[in-house]
Amino acid sequence: MNVSISSNINLWYTACILLLSLLANKSTHAQRTPTISYISQEQIKDIGGTVEFECSVQYAKEYSVQWTKTDGEPVFLSSGSTLVIRDSRFALRYEPSASTYRLQIKDIQETDAGTYTCQVVISVVNKVSANVKLSVRRPPVISDNSTQSLVASEGSEVQMECYASGYPTPTITWRRENNAILPTDSATFVGNILRIKSVKKEDRGTYYCVADNGVSKGDRRNVNLEVEFAPVITVPRPRLGQALQYDMDLECHIEAYPPPAIVWLKDDIQLSNNQHYSISHFATADEYSDSTLRVITIEKRQYGDYICKAVNKLGEADARVNLFETPIPVCPPACGQAYFDGAEHLAGTLFATIGFLAALLYIR
């Protein structure tokens, strides 16, 4: 009897130990928190390509696993093994053996770039999550806040700016039209801002802002720099001779911006168009002008010094042209009607003389 009681006690004790062990294991298992054991690394893809994100979880059989795009307002893509978003480019594949959720996106668009979150929803306020970023390669596009044109006075500081979107981040390179040397004393300059500390009139012209990131051909913008400067006058022929009663053209070339007011003076009196003078101006470019003063049928009093004067808001300049008398006409411009009239008269006199001599010979 004692042996039987002892045996029963041992059996009861063993059963208790087994029951406690099972309860302990069950409790331990129930306390395990769901985890994300693996998520894909950052992905960089081209527009039109395909990407696949992988998310593996543990101890999450009783919980909902979701894929969400979390940039800005969250967009729910899937719940468990079901795709929620109605977009044929998206697909979801669940592998029960590995407890892995694979989210695939085909025909990637620029708007697909952003952060994708895999999360295990434990409760309303308790979630386990991991993120993966998708970057989409995009060609450069120069921003509208970049400089398009600029007007500056000579000697002032100039700053031209160029910014561009795209991925990877574009590199900004500055060049000048016809590969002319930049004010930085180099053919190219890399950076968003090109600074000229003291701009010169020689710096005016077209600059190229080029954005490149290795995707497509890049982007380019022309930046026109206008430099305001005081007039500079050159005279191709400072001294000109002409005979009385013939015309003569006096010329001066003006370089200035803004375009200047141009006048001709003689003896401190401003000349105008009349029977004695004809003034004409020709703008060959924004910064260049040619001015011609024609002295008509020159009289004695019209010989002397003439002043070509140019004025704009930054200053003024003048140059002198001297007109002197010559015994014979200078052609051009003395190839006009007066010159030909003289030639016809001379020819008539010559023919008359020859005829008279011929008559004398015939009489003899």
Cβ atoms within 10 A of the Cβ of 352, count? Answer: 10
d(CA 314, CA 260): 10
Place of tokens 């996106």: 105
**What are the structure tokens assigned to 259, written together?**
């375009």
Residue range 117-127, pLDDT digits in tens:
999 999 988 99
Q: 3.40.50.1820, 3.40.50.300, 2.60.40.10, 3.40.50.720: which CATH number matches 235-325?
A: 2.60.40.10
- Alpha-carbon torsion (252, 253, 255, 258), positive or negative: positive
**What is the SS3 assignment for 107-121?**
CCCHHHCEEEEEEEE
Looking at residue 6, its pLDDT comes to 45
Looking at residue 334, its pLDDT comes to 65
Looking at residue 349, its pLDDT comes to 36
pTM beyond 0.75: the answer is no
Q: Say if residue 211 is exposed, middle or buried (CB neighbours under 10 Å; 0-12, 13-18, 19+).
A: buried
Same CATH fold assignment for domains 35-137 and 143-229: yes
The C-alpha angle with vertex 279 and arms to 278 and 282, in degrees rounded to 5, equals 135
E strand map for 40-146: 43-46, 51-58, 64-69, 75-79, 82-83, 90-95, 100-105, 114-121, 127-142
What stretches in the chain show pLDDT beneath 50?
Answer: 1-29, 337-364
What are the residue ranges spanned by the domains of the chain?
Answer: 35-137, 143-229, 235-325
CB-CB contact of 201 with 256 (8 Å): no
d(CA 187, CA 343): 60
d(CA 158, CA 175): 16
According to CATH, the topology of domain 35-137 is Immunoglobulin-like (2.60.40)
**Ramachandran quadrant class, 205 (left: phi over 0; alpha: psi -120 to 50; beta: rest):** left
According to CATH, the topology of domain 143-229 is Immunoglobulin-like (2.60.40)
Q: Which amino acid is at 58?
A: Q
